[in-house]
Amino acid sequence: MKIILKQDIANLGYTNDIINVKNGYARNYLIPKGYAIQATSQNEKILAEVLKQKAHKEEKIRTEAETLAKSIEAVSLTIGAKVGTSGKIFGSVNAMQIADALKEQASIDIDRKKIIVDSDKVKQIGEYTATVNLHRNVKASIKFEVIAE
């Protein structure tokens, strides 16, 4: 079934994307929750008009995201963690700690949900990278180093 997404859904698509999903997923979950509408010819015409009106605004948002991405990529973060004798840290470093460090060290406020740590679990001291999804076409990578406190 072809649907039009009303909001961003992780691993599925972004707002105003037309995608194909299984009928049950669309009818039982996406449409009743208000996440999507069925992509009829009338709804596609309305979407085309809305996208035409948003094109200028979208360009402005994208350029702001690109400048923010450049400033993020220029930053190198250090995150302190408690370390055991073997060099492993207690717990792991997650997106919330990266967002807090970015706010403290570089005065850049990013939502933690937009940060994806590239390696599954950061459990050792060392240098790592994380990806920040600022816009559908703009992604920035943050280099951070985990050090012992």
Is the domain of 83 the same as that of 132? yes
Is the domain of 44 the same as that of 77? no
Is pLDDT above 80 for 116? yes
pLDDT score of 47:
92
Is the domain of 30 the same as that of 83? no
Residue 131's domain spans which residues? 69-148
pTM of the complete model beyond 0.85:
no
For residue range 60-115, what is the model confidence (pLDDT) as tens digits? 888 999 999 999 888 888 988 888 888 788 888 888 989 999 999 888 888 888 89
Average per-residue pLDDT for the chain: 89
Q: Residue 48 CA to chain centroid, in angstroms?
A: 25
pLDDT score of 22:
95
Is pLDDT above 90 for 34? yes
Is the domain of 49 the same as that of 101? no
111 neighbors 130 (Cβ within 8 angstroms): no
Is the domain of 87 the same as that of 46? no
Task: State how far the Cα of 31 lies from the Cα of 71, in Å rounded to an integer.
Answer: 39
pLDDT score of 25:
95
The total number of structural domains in the chain stands at 2
- What is the percent of the chain with per-residue pLDDT over 90, rounded to a whole number? 35
DSSP codes of every residue in 43-107: HHHHHHHHHHHHHHHHHHHHHHHHHHHHHHHT-EEEEEE-B-TTSEEEEEE-HHHHHHHHHHHH-
Residue among 138, 115, 137, 139 nearest 128 (CA): 115
pLDDT score of 91:
84
Q: How confident is the model at residue 10 (pLDDT cuts 50, 70, 90)?
A: confident
pLDDT score of 135:
86
Is the domain of 56 the same as that of 118? no
pLDDT score of 118:
77
